[in-house]
Structure 1
Amino acid sequence: MSSDTSDDTESVQQRAQRQLIELAADLYDQLDAGDIPEISLPTRTKSNIEYDEDDHVWVYGDRTSSRSANSIRGARKLLKAVYTIEFLVDQLEEGRSSTLRELYYLSESWDNKEAQFNDQDESNQLIEDLEILSNVTREDFHMRPEESGATIMGPLLIREQTRRGERKIHCQEDVGEGGYQIPNNPDTLEFLDNDADFVLAVETGGMRDRLVENGFDEEYNALIVHLKGQPARATRRLTKRLHDELNIPVTVFTDGDPWSYRIYASVAYGSIKSAHLSEYLATPEAKFIGVQPEDIVEYNLPTDPLSDADVNALESELEDPRFQTDYWEEQINLQLDIGKKSEQQSLASYGLDFVTETYLPERLSEMGYL
């Protein structure tokens, strides 16, 4: 994510401060001119994302919505935005950071009760609004999520910036079985060396542990990234950097259900919620390994029946522009036909080594990675 800067030597922190101050100044100028202050934002809905042919990701379209002070509700939203901008500018000035959860609680101390947040969803959404308006990421605001716990394991040497200075870490030799924990802002990492042939981004912790225990990362020179369910932004950013900067192919390995397909979509195409960051977070070249609906049939995997919510989600994905490809339409329709879903761990029905000795090598060979 980038924006124009007034000075080629302007630091990331200085640019973030400037952009925030300019937002507040724009609201002030509207008031000073006798206008009712307002801001305009893209409508964050599935119907307002479109495919960017240049960057091959899904971004927001032209539909917008306004936040205006012409109503009490709108005025409160703008008031909260101004208070939050002041907090963020002060935080950057002091070189401090805070979590999204802390911001919600910090608002309890603001002198104007109308500026306090009703719940964390409200404060989270405001931070997203400020990202869009300022063209600066929340990481550059020094806003952190709660710890995601996502990790990476494999043949990668990095240089990490810490409060105690720089340190070099090999993500296989210098870490325990848990791997290297991905930092909140992976742009602070420098890639020094690697022997990786591909990234394998894995949904569940159980499967990630199975792959590490079986030595899959060593045998196949794989960088195993634990997505930990719906992946955090830091995880998606690191995955994109590994692909773009080191030219390492990215594959995604999830459960075989509609919610897991959305995990893949957030890695490859970007999420609807953060479509303004798709160029920064999404890896369009990422390939889905499975579990595929056709795997459920071919391997006769243990299954659960699709729930009504699963069926509705699959039907919704058929209308989702991110899934409108021949491959996904074929797989989703097959799953609706068989009425079943299956977990990654169901592959263990053929033994604990089946996933590393048979399933993944076969799939990776079919896809040209082995």
Structure 2
Amino acid sequence: MASDKKKRRRTDSDHDGAATSLPHQKLLKPDSAILSSLKSLSAATSSSTSSTSKALTLADLSLSSTCREVIDLSLSSVQSSIESLALSITHSILSGRGFSFSVPSRSAANHLYVPELDRIVLKDKSSLRPYSSVATVRKATVTARILQLIHQLCLKNIHVTKRDLFYTDVKLFQDQTQSDSVLDDVSCILGCTRSSLNVVAAEKGVVVGRLIFSDNGDLIDCTKMGMGGKAIPPNIDRVGDMSSDALFILLVEKDAAYMRLAEDRFYNRFPCIIVTAKGQPDVATRLFLRKMKMELKLPVLALVDSDPYGLKILSVYGCGSKNMSYDSANLTTPDIKWLGIRPSDLDKYKIPEQCRLPMTEQDIKTGKDMLEEDFVKKNPGWVEELSLMVKTKQKAEIQALSSFGFQYLSEVYLPLKLQQQDWL
């Protein structure tokens, strides 16, 4: 039985002959040489993080536009803010003026990329949401209802999921996307992070590898979580101190690639922590990644698809999303390196033509639009790779590497990338 397991973990020797025939495998140096360079990277990252003075904030900058950011608030502070808002609304109604909510605008035009912070922030424009207007009466009602529900959570000191919140008043909310959107509005109105509202998303992200942390008092050793890994707690507040002997954090876009690396115990061969949100980044995974980066002072390397959406996902982790720009200070992880798969890798690693996909017109438009984003322009390497993608009109998924064997990703591609320090 043990010998069978060892055989399964070897490179696919039955794929087109011997394992030595795999493209680029002969370029690999001994693992000890690769580990030596990784230790240097880890030490440099730790030293840079430790020597850096207090991180810049919006308050430190003299920006031409006024911007707003939210902060973590205690439950009692959230409760007081809601009660003060309710009192103000009551006075307005009794005075005959009716009531309205002043809601910070989260439209595309109300965002600003700040190079000094390397993240997207929300500008200070707001709009009124009056109850007396036919156009906004329903949304004003939903806003009031969400505030009422959040107040109940404060009083009971409990957490619920966004799905729970939606099911408290399905007829009013109609669709969860509507209650989710107003929940973000409420965070902006109250000036607090969404986690301060005690409403969390369902578990989505997972983590495996050289990491130990406490989750609500339970000690979690992520090396013992098996192929499935440990689900990232949706309530990040309950996660305690972290410890690790990892040399880097590997952020993976796709669940399939994550499973391959977890099953191959890639984190033991090259000590690392592997994390994925299984596609679009969710809040819990973004918070967890930032916490790991800040506490462990490790470099973060990202493995995403070679298409505009892979780069979009990477940018959300790095500099934030426009939808939640109001909380970018807490949700972004600085200095994420783009490891792969990059457009230039398609020819470099001789990805077969049948594994390359033609970009759709929408793909090309998305790529061109991203080339106009300030956070892309700031990184010449990103511009070069994205321009190549748009020019060749080709994209590829991480799984394209499986054309050389199911374990090519863990046995050749990633080790060679790490050896050559081939990231942007």
Query: Counterpart in 1 of 2:389?
Result: 335
Change (3 A) 1:3 1:62: closer
* Residue number in structure 1 paired with 2:62: none
Matched, 1:262 2:312: yes
Give the corresponding residue for 2:288: 238
Question: How many Å apart are 1:136 and its aligned residue?
Answer: 2.2
In structure 2, the partner of 1:212 is 262
In the aligned structure 2, how far is the partner of 1:22 from the partner of 1:277? 22
Deviation string 1:157-216 (CA, Å, 9 cap, x unpaired) is: 11121xxxx22111113x222111100022321124210111101111111111112221
Change (3 A) 1:269 1:28: same
Identity of aligned residues (%): 28
* Contact 1:46/1:320, CA 8 A, preserved across alignment: no
2:97 matches 1:47: no
8 A Cα contact 2:70 2:188, kept in partner:
no
In the superposition, relative to structure 1, how do residues 299 and 135 fare at CA in structure 2: closer, same or farther (>3 Å)? same
Q: Structure 1 stretches of 5 or more lacking a match?
A: 6-11
Change (3 A) 1:210 1:262: same
In 2, Cα distance between equivalents of 1:227 and 1:4: 23
Which of 332, 338, 346 is the matching residue for 1:288? Answer: 338
Q: What per-residue deviation string (whole Å, max 9, x for no partner) do you get for residues 290-330 of structure 1?
A: 11111112223220101112112112212233322322221
Aligned counterparts of 2:377 and 2:91: Cα–Cα separation in 1: 45
Deviation at 1:134, TM superposition (A): 1.1
Matches within 5 A, 1:24-35: 24-35=86-97
Q: 2:310 aligns to what SS in structure 1?
A: helix
1:339 Cα deviation after fit: 1.0
**How far has the Cα of 1:56 moved from its partner?**
2.6
Match of 1:279 among 315, 329, 346: 329
The alpha-carbon deviation at position 285 of structure 1 amounts to 1.2
After TM superposition, the structure 1 = structure 2 runs for residues 295-314 of structure 1, keeping only pairs within 5 Å, are 295-301=345-351, 302-314=355-367
Corresponding position of 1:145: 201
Note if contact 2:202-2:234 (Cα within 8 Å) is conserved in structure 1. Answer: no
- The residue identity in structure 2 corresponding to 1:155 is R
**1:341, distance to aligned residue in structure 2 (A):** 0.5
Q: Distance in 1 between matches of 2:394 and 2:422?
A: 29
Q: Show CA shifts across 1:50-90 (max 9, x none).
A: 12355331111243333223412323322222222112111
Contact 1:254–1:261 under 8 Å retained in 2: yes
The answer as to whether partners of 2:70 and 2:327 remain within 8 angstroms in 1 is no
CA contact (8 A) 2:253 2:305 kept: yes
For the Cα contact (< 8 Å) 2:118–2:375, is it kept in 1? no
SS of the aligned residue for 1:72 comes to: coil
The residue aligned with 1:320 is 373
CA distance in 1, matches of 2:285, 2:185: 21
Report the CA distance between 1:33 and its aligned residue: 4.4
Q: Are the counterparts in 2 of residues 21 and 85 from structure 1 also a CA contact under 8 Å?
A: no
Q: Please tell me the root mean square deviation across aligned C-alpha atoms, in Å.
A: 2.2
Structure 1 partner of 2:43 = none
Query: Does 2:133 match 1:82?
Result: no
CA contact (8 A) 1:240 1:281 kept: yes
Q: Residue 52 of structure 2 corresponds to which residue in structure 1? A: none
Rounded to whole Å, the distance in 2 between the matches of 1:304 and 1:101 is 36
How high is the TM-score relative to the length of structure 1?
Answer: 0.88
User: By how many angstroms is 1:36 displaced?
Assistant: 4.7
- Work out the number of aligned pairs and report it: 351
1:148-227 aligned at under 5 Å gives the runs 148=204, 150-161=205-216, 166-173=217-224, 175-227=225-277
For residues 50 and 365 of structure 1, do their structure 2 counterparts lie closer, same or farther at Cα, with a shift above 3 Å needed? Answer: farther
Determine helix, strand or coil for the equivalent of 2:169. Answer: helix
SS of the counterpart of 2:135? helix
Gap change, CA 1:73 and 1:353, over 3 Å in 2 = same
Is the CA contact 2:243–2:296 (under 8 Å) kept in the aligned structure 1?
A: no
Using a 3 Å threshold, how does the CA distance of structure 1 residues 192 and 101 change in structure 2: closer, same or farther? Answer: closer
Letter in 1 for 2:239: L
- Shift in Å, 1:3: 4.2
Which range moves more in the overlay, 222-231 or 357-366?
A: 357-366
Question: Whole-Å Cα distance in 2 between the matches of residues 203 and 30 of structure 1?
Answer: 49
SS of the equivalent of 2:76 reads: helix
Using the TM superposition, give the Cα deviation of residue 239 of structure 1 relative to its aligned residue in structure 2, in angstroms: 0.4
1:90-110 alpha-carbon deviations (Å, 9 max, x no partner): 1221233322223222114xx
Q: Find the aligned partners of 1:29 and 1:71 in 2 and give their Cα distance.
A: 19
Specify the alignment match of 1:9 in structure 2: none
d(CA) in 2 for partners of 1:86 and 1:225?
Answer: 36
Shift of 1:118: 2.8
- Paired residue for 1:8? none
Q: Distance in 2 between matches of 1:297 and 1:203?
A: 21
- 1:305 maps to amino acid: P
